[in-house]
Structure 1
Amino acid sequence: MRLIVLIVAQYYIMMKPPRKEAIMDATVSARVPVAVKAEGNALLSELGATPSQLINAAYRYVLAERRLPEPRGTLERQQGQHRQLSAGQQARIARSLRAMYVGDSSPAAEAPSFKQQLNQARDDRYARFA
């Protein structure tokens, strides 16, 4: 009887699935200027992300690219600066604005206002019913 119990116990030990090791997440700490952290956390919350997701994305980037991301410039230099449009971009915007203009001719100072154009269109439409 004792032998059967030992054999059954040995069977269950052998058939028991191996124990999975718990996957632990490492903790990373970094020194960040207070202002950068506050501004970054505010932006992360707007994006619906957490600082942990940011750090994980940074590590994945470094692993994939084998380099640090290139800075586009310091925040202080970029503060208050606006990007200049190329001549092609300016021309494309001008074409878009001309295409959106509603009226008989190109926009000019003497062109009637939208309200005047609307009243004229209503007068023309309802004159047919009079």
Structure 2
Amino acid sequence: MYPLVILALETAMRRGELLALRWRQIDLDRQVAFVEISKNGDSRAVPLSRRAVEVLMTLDRQPGQELVFPIGAHALHAAFKRACLRAKLEDFHFHDLRHCAATHLSTKLNNVLELSAVTGHRTLQMLKRYYHPDPSALAAKLD
């Protein structure tokens, strides 16, 4: 669960994209994962941070294993729910990691076009649903 959560936070990839990700779609040298088909039907290259690459390198890859995360959506949902209960997190879902990731990535990528390229949002309106800036951080930028 931990590597999957870290990769979700580092890339803002959707649950389905992460669960469908195959090793052949990852270029660790170039630090890129290629999503062949996203929720909106498009393909895209997702940049991988150093931390994302490190996490991927720690995974125990079995011979013949194509999927990076060989777990189904229902098993992931159950495991994530148990983890949230242990952490005493109420009303927190795997998809919420995408919101966290978009907001965190916005501190590194000041250009909304770059941010939307990473998150896979087609429009600024959709990106705004995921990006939740810290008002005090915005105020500090004004000084």
Q: Same fold (TM over 0.5)?
A: no
Higher strand share: 2
Q: Normalising TM by the smaller chain, what interval?
A: under 0.3
TM-score by length of 1: 0.26
Higher relative contact order, structure no. (Cα contacts within 8 Å, ≥ 6 residues apart): 2
Larger radius of gyration: 1
Normalised by the length of structure 2, the TM-score is 0.24
